[in-house]
Chains A and B, each alone.
Chain A
Amino acid sequence: MNSDEKLVSDALSGSVSAFTEIVERYSERLLRFLLTRCRTRADAEDALQDTFANAYRYLNTFNPKWRFSTWIYRIAIRNAVRSAPQGVMVEVSSDLEDQAADPLRDCIRASDRENLWLTARDLLSADAYSAMWLRYAEDLPVREVAGALDRSTSWTKVTLMRARNVLEQEMSRTIPKEREHYG
């Protein structure tokens, strides 16, 4: 399988199939991320479409010192921010009716516990959430996460540590309840 960088190089040389393979490779990953950052599924799909169009249009500005995934996530984050004014994360209402319209909640398979990303979205800022996603869902190194968010490495490390603490506290608070419930 060709590396991302090889595909980018081929695409820059005029290979349409190379960029098509990039689209295939990143469509679901980016959509999964955008669903967590946009108000509706339609917004997420629009942001995905814009992300690929912008990536294709400005492919010649890609700097190979970064991973391609870092670069394309950076574009996706900008498009997500545009779809959510002032870069504010989608506030999830506790009303059941509103939850039905929540694109992320709709896309999560039924489980016996709350998906941790839903919890993270409620508790973390937009940037902290993105940092957590890129680090733990995408397995990007801290340096690449910082690059995608246009932040310093130290900011990213501190943000990840604080976000982890918040989620671990939440987990420790909810898990005993579940055990009590099922026990």
Chain B
Amino acid sequence: MSGTTFSSTDLAHAVVSEAPAPFVPRKRTLQIGTALVTGMWVMYFGGLFGTYVSSRNAWQDVQAGLAAEGGSAISWIPDSAQVELTAPTVMTWTLLMSCVTMQWAVYSFKRSDRRHGLLALGTQAMFGAAVINQVVFQWNQLGLVIDDTSGSSAATLIYTITASHVAMIIMAMVLLAFAAFRALASSDTKDHVDVVASAATFWYAMVGLYFVIWILIFITK
């Protein structure tokens, strides 16, 4: 029988020295990787926003033409839908507050302050969950249906954009959990400041994108 054999001496590499190894700062691999993933998300939303704006403009041009000929124009977001500004505005404020707690988490990690770091991450996660809760509430409130009664693509695009943003919030919360577990498992949270800084980069981009959604969909409709 042929095969590769490993002697017990190979396992000697697994023996860790008694003396603790000096801390070597990690390369910025995670931060660069997270920045690239954030860039991907930004371009993804850029594509969605472009589609939304071009579809809305095309729809409004057609409806303006109809109105000029004496016909009745149909609004981009169907009249049957209930677009309230309250929930999106509360979400915007919630996310703005979360930027403060995110910075609190980074600050605490940098100062090896595990207790406050974890507290900040927990608050952060609560804000994220609150926003998801509000999005679900808003979907129920909107009453938008993807059907062919009006011919407008607004429902498809609004659901795609808001659902994608929820997916981004969930991904940001997973990153937060990752940072929290790293903090719990480490002897010094300062060693993992790159993890929480990466999560912060992603979180800020997520907040910025919601700000665009707020203006593009709910303010300018």
Q: Are A and B co-members of a single complex?
A: no
Interface set of B (CB-CB < 8 Å, partner A): none
Interface set of A (CB-CB < 8 Å, partner B): none
